[in-house]
């Protein structure tokens, strides 16, 4: 635009340092780093959509008499196993553990993990190590959750939380994975007074406590355990070594402080819409049509302060 102004006046183009100097001498302008952003994720950062989610959570808790201490969230996170180096873990797709970690809100405690391994059989050695007896270990062909394992996890969840119910019912916040919507899963929830709420798609980085404040510390702690194995000249992580490493990482990361911070960060407990809205920094909008820009633009040198400010506003928009 500066070059267009100069061309209209019969002058040359601006110098290489002109943009930086222009910003420096114009108090109303500033610079910031640009970063790539997933459009689907940005679409779900619509404040109206976020408000609707919080209204749904509050209405559900009020309607069914659900206390903050009866609000739970669960999701799964993958951890690689196989040959390790100082920089990475090299593995085939079936060589992975899929721990499914669950946590409540206000009490700051977590029920025992539910671990899913890729395999066909349980090995007795898994249960001979120093692993808590209340941890659940399941297997599937590829190490991923399916409808049957979703139901098994729900039974695990119910067994460890039914004696801790404070209000009338429990609320389980989850994502849209198909295993959470099977008929058997929903019937088991109904039989045990468990109400489920599915978050909007692509919004777990804002609305899911596990993603907001627990999984990152857990994975960092697990990485430190892997580094320790490397220092002890262990270059291959078996399922047994994974169990021990995961146990240490889980105990270090799923603390009262991290769990409470995660639920506050997601605005879930205590209920706080602003905790999420304050994080939104992307506003999607439809670009102004080119014809309109041309109509607004007049290639001439500003003759007064008001015209200069008007052109600055047009440049910013």
Q: What is the pLDDT of residue 284?
A: 47
For every residue of 205-224, DSSP letters joined together read HHH-HIIIIIHHHHHHHHHH
> Band of the pLDDT at 241, cuts 50, 70, 90?
confident
Taking each helix axis as running N to C, give the angle between helix 215-231 and helix 239-253, from 0 to 180 degrees, rounded to the nearest 10. Answer: 130
Domain residue limits, the chain: 2-37+283-316, 47-277
* pLDDT band at 26; cut points 50, 70, 90: confident
- What DSSP character marks residue 137? E
For the stretch 260-265, contacts whose Cβ atoms lie closer than 8 Å and that sit 24 or more positions apart, written own/partner, are 260/106, 260/108, 261/213, 262/103, 262/209, 262/210, 262/212, 262/213, 262/214, 263/71, 263/73, 263/105, 263/106, 263/209, 263/213, 265/209, 265/212, 265/213
Rounded to two decimals, the pTM is: 0.70
Residue 285 — φ and ψ, nearest 5°? Answer: -150, 160
* 172-195 average pLDDT score: 90
Residue 143 has pLDDT above 50, yes or no: yes
Q: How confident is the model at residue 84 (pLDDT cuts 50, 70, 90)?
A: low
pLDDT (0 to 100) of residue 88: 44
Mean pLDDT of all residues in 287-313: 57
| Burial status of residue 172 (CB atoms within 10 A of its CB: 0-12, 13-18, 19 or more) | buried
- CATH superfamily label, 47-277: Ribonuclease H-like superfamily/Ribonuclease H (3.30.420.10)
190-236 per-position pLDDT tens digit:
999 999 999 998 898 999 999 999 999 999 999 999 889 888 888 78
- Decide if pLDDT at 128 tops 90: no
């Amino acid at each position: 635009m500066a070059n267009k102004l100069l061309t209209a006046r019969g002058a040359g183009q601006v110098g290489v340092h002109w943009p930086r100097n222009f910003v420096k001498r114009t108090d109303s302008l500033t610079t910031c780093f640009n970063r790539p952003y997933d459009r689907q994720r940005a679409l779900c950062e619509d404040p109206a959509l976020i408000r609707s989610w919080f209204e749904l959570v509050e209405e559900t808790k009020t309607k069914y008499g659900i206390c903050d201490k009866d609000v739970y969230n669960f999701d799964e996170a993958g951890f690689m196993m196989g040959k390790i180096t100082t920089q990475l873990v090299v593995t085939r797709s079936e060589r992975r553990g899929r721990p499914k970690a669950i946590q409540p809100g206000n009490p700051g405690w977590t029920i025992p993990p539910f671990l899913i391994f890729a395999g066909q059989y349980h090995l007795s050695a898994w249960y001979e190590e120093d692993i808590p007896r209340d941890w659940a270990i399941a297997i599937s062909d590829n190490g991923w959750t399916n409808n049957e394992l979703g139901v098994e996890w729900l039974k695990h969840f119910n067994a460890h939380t039914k004696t801790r119910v404070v209000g009338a019912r429990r609320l389980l916040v989850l994502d849209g994975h198909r295993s959470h919507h099977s008929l058997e899963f929903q019937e088991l929830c109904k039989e045990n007074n468990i109400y489920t709420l599915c978050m909007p798609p692509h919004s777990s980085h804002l609305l899911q406590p596990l993603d907001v404040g627990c999984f990152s510390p857990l994975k960092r702690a697990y990485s430190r355990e892997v580094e320790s194995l490397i220092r002890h000249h262990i270059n291959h992580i078996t399922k047994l070594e994974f169990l021990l490493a995961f146990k240490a990482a889980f105990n270090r990361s799923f603390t009262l402080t991290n769990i409470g911070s995660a639920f506050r960060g997601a605005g879930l407990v205590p209920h706080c819409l602003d905790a999420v809205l304050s994080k939104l920094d992307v506003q999607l909008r439809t670009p102004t049509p080119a014809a309109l820009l041309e109509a607004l633009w007049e290639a001439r040198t500003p003759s007064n302060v008001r015209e200069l400010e008007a052109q600055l506003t047009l440049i910013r928009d």
